[in-house]
Amino acid sequence: MTPEHEPLEVTLLRLKQERDEADARYNDALTALDQVAVRPLSAGPAPPHYDEHQITPLNQSCDVLVTPPAAGGLKGRLAAFVWRIVAPTLLKQAAFNAVLVDHVNRNVAVHRGTHDAVAGLAAAMQSHIDELLAFRGRLMIYLQQITAFVDTKDRDAGGASLVVSAGVNAVADAVAKRQESMTAREQRFDARVAALAAAHEELRTLIGVSQQVTLTMKRELERLLIESASTDGVSGPVGPTPRSGVPQASNASAFAPALDAYKYVGFEDQFRGSREVIRQRLESYLPYFTGASDVLDVGCGRGEFLELLKARAIPARGLDLNHEMVELSRATGLDVAEADVVSYLEGVPDASLGGLFSAQVVEHLQPGYLLRFLELAHHKLRPGAPIVVETLNPACWVAFFESFIRDITHVWPLHPETLRYLVLASGFTTARIEYRSPVPPQDKLQPIAGADTPSADLIETFNANVEKLNARMFTFLDYAIVGTNA
């Protein structure tokens, strides 16, 4: 049991043990400090004075030069001769004696000052040592009083702590009882949630079965209507306007290759982007098809996504109605069929596809044809297989005015929530919106600075309007519906 969840009695006992240990450590440290032996310290006596005993005799006896008195005769001439010989030496000695005495005289004052300074420093050191010893004695007395002071505070607070402990114990008991009640209630709640989850899963299964039965009955009814119409000589339903892989009608005569198919290839090269750019954009869809097989790329165009799947060893086949697109894809070694999606899906077995991908196709389809395509996709995909449908985002004004109306083969703009609903209504169990290709920040409306200016309120209102316009006009150029089959 961790300290955060230990009982109150255990907590109080642990805190008392910690306090006793702290008291013991404090007393041991104080005893050790008190037992430290401190010897009296002395700075020592001042140094002796400078010896000046021979200064005066030295000054008086430094002159050793004595000139001989003048005399005549042989004795005088002999004295003058001797003087001329010894005079230079005596002059040098006299000069040396004068310099030496002057030096000694000059250092007398320096030695006196040095002696006085050293004596003053020794006296100051002795005074400071005495003060430190006095401070240590007072510090020991102060430390010895702390324990008694804390003990008196503990005795004063003892009664209050008992009252608080009793109150805390009562609160702890109440909390423990409340916790037990909440635990029991939580267990009952979990049981009810589990029952509801089981009922929800059962209901979901029943709804899925009902939806499957409804779609099967609808398909069977459509087959009967088509057989009845063919018996009466009535042609099939009208399809969408041609685009890459998209027919005008569901009958085979409308799917013949057009002589102008190359023009749409050039249109995509100029306005949609190069093969490398499209490959980079579509690469982020690959994780949805990891481990899949028998993937169908509807409206595969130049085959960029098929190349990405092939590079990862994911078996896939493309579908396109534009003859030139089909030839371009086949020239790179891709498996591509030239047919419209509804006719193709009607000819494959149910639950035979491991995934379906369609980029920038559904905006070329008439609503009725789109519904038929989504319903067939639901039947032809295996349980759990993904469907990814990418299209332009007409909720973004830049995408609508810059891209949607530029392409004359576009038929119907599909709002993200609308396409998501149609996918769910076609039988898919999940469908979420994934927004893509955000408008670059530099292309959005820019707010203005000036929060601390007199026009701050006006600027704030302007910036708020800028945010609203950006949220409507400059959001995401494309979006994709990512769903899974039942």
- Cβ atoms of residues 325 and 237 within 8 Å: no
Q: Mean pLDDT across the stretch 381-408?
A: 85
pLDDT in tens, 137-157: 777 777 777 766 666 666 555
pLDDT at residue number 253:
32
DSSP string, 289-351: GTT--SEEEET-TTTHHHHHHHHTT--EEEEES-HHHHHHHHHTT--EEES-HHHHHHTS-TT
Average pLDDT value over all residues in the chain: 78
Residue labelled with tokens 């300290």: 3
CA distance 285 to 279: 10
Distance of CA 32 to the CA centre of its chain: 53
**How many angstroms separate the Cα of 99 from the Cα of each of 58, 60, 102, 106, 347?**
12, 14, 5, 11, 132
pLDDT in tens, 116-134: 888 888 788 878 887 887 7
Domains along the chain with CATH numbers: 3-177 (no CATH), 252-484 (3.40.50.150)
Q: Mean pLDDT across the stretch 234-241?
A: 42
Is the per-residue pLDDT at 386 higher than 90?
yes
Is the per-residue pLDDT at 236 higher than 60?
no
CA distance 123 to 117: 10
Higher pLDDT, 476 or 460: 476
Predicted structure pTM score:
0.49
What φ, ψ does residue 364 adopt, rounded to 5°?
-95, 0
pLDDT band per the 50, 70, 90 thresholds, residue 28: confident
Is the per-residue pLDDT at 11 higher than 70?
yes
3-state helix, strand, coil in the chain (%, to 5): 65, 10, 25
CA distance 343 to 249: 10
φ/ψ bin of 294: left (φ > 0), alpha (ψ from -120 to 50), beta (otherwise): left
Cβ within 8 Å of residue 268, ≥6 positions away: 244, 301, 302
Q: Mean pLDDT across the stretch 295-321?
A: 94
pLDDT in tens, 420-473: 999 999 999 999 999 988 888 877 777 777 666 667 777 777 777 877 777 777
pLDDT band per the 50, 70, 90 thresholds, residue 290: very high
Higher pLDDT, 171 or 411: 411
Pairing relationship of beta strands 316-320 and 386-392 according to DSSP bridges = unpaired
User: How many Cβ atoms are within 10 Å of 94's Cβ, its own excluded?
Assistant: 13
CA distance 451 to 346: 63
User: How many Cβ atoms are within 10 Å of 385's Cβ, its own excluded?
Assistant: 24
pLDDT at residue number 235:
43
Q: Mean pLDDT across the stretch 168-182?
A: 78
Pairing relationship of beta strands 476-484 and 430-438 according to DSSP bridges = antiparallel
pLDDT band per the 50, 70, 90 thresholds, residue 366: very high
CA distance 421 to 443: 31
| Burial track 208-228 (b if 16+ CB lie within 10 A, e otherwise) | eeebeeeeeeebeeeeeeeee
Of 94-98, 110-114, 229-233, the one with minimum mean pLDDT is: 229-233
Higher pLDDT, 364 or 93: 364
Q: Name the β-bridge partners of 298.
A: 319, 358
CA distance 376 to 427: 10
What φ, ψ does residue 391 adopt, rounded to 5°?
-155, 170
pLDDT in tens, 240-264: 444 444 444 333 332 334 444 444 4
Q: What percent of the chain has pLDDT over 70?
A: 78
pLDDT at residue number 241:
40
Q: Mean pLDDT across the stretch 386-405?
A: 84
pLDDT at residue number 204:
67
Q: Strands, E, within 394-475: which ranges?
A: 430-438
pLDDT at residue number 339:
92
CA distance 57 to 101: 10
- DSSP state at residue 271: I
pLDDT in tens, 259-284: 444 444 554 555 566 788 889 989 99
pLDDT at residue number 248:
41
